Amino acid sequence: MQKDKKSRNLYTIIYIALIAVVGTACIIAGFYSSVNSNVKSDFESANAEEYIPMITVYVTGEVLNPGLYELEKGARATAAIEKAGGMTPNANSEGVNLAQVLDDGEQVKVPAIKTTAPASSAKSRSSVRKTTSKTTAKATSKAASVPSKTVEEKAGTLENTPEEEMDKKINLNCGDVNEYMKVNGVTKTVAENIAKFIGDYGTFKNIYELRCVDGVTLEIYNKINDKFVVE
């Protein structure tokens, strides 16, 4: 009887010990599972924070440093302009939507302040052209009465003419489409756009404003900018 009682007590102790071991194992397993879950969550969160999609935009016009700039996806036009050094004093801030959300490959163009050319300038330009025409006609009539040059003189004139034409720069503010088209690289469309720019915004202040003309890409600008002068 006493022996059976001891046996039951022993079984009870063993049973309790097993329950304790199993319970401890469950607690440890739950702890490690929680730790692994937190680590995985932190890792995924860190990766999500590190990956930020970017876009590339082209900023041109009246900014200090035109060019290509990389921004975070969803950036607005104002951020692109800030990247380009901000607007120049001649920029028309109302001519561009600063709140526009940009897409990859988009162009942000800041226009110049529109100025109206004085009517007196147009009149004086017209009178200059008329005077030039009269002067040319007089010079032609005088030339007809002058004896013809010798063969050597003519040859020397013909040799010098191409060089003089090459060195001659065209006034960007002349507004003459045909004059513009004499420059290698200026198509009829670009020439008309240059004349239209003068009509819309007034005369050019500097050669760099050619970049504001529709159709004048950076490649075209680099090719033709030294063929013009602003007068």
Q: Is residue 64 a contact partner of residue 88, using CB atoms and an 8 Å limit?
A: yes
The DSSP call for residue 132 is: H
Closest alpha carbon to 55 in 100, 87, 96: 100
Hey, which residues does 55 pair with through a beta bridge?
71
Whether pTM exceeds 0.85: no
Task: Quickly list DSSP for 104-116.
Answer: TT-EEEEPBPP-P
170-171/67-72 β-pairing = unpaired
pLDDT by residue for the chain (231 residues), tens only, comes to 556 666 777 778 887 887 887 778 768 776 666 656 665 666 566 555 678 899 999 999 999 999 999 999 999 999 999 999 999 988 998 889 999 999 999 999 999 997 654 444 444 455 545 544 554 455 445 444 444 444 344 444 444 444 444 568 899 998 899 999 999 989 999 999 999 999 999 899 998 898 899 999 999 999 999 999 998
Q: What Cα–Cα distance (Å) separates residue 161 from each residue in 74, 155, 165?
A: 57, 10, 6
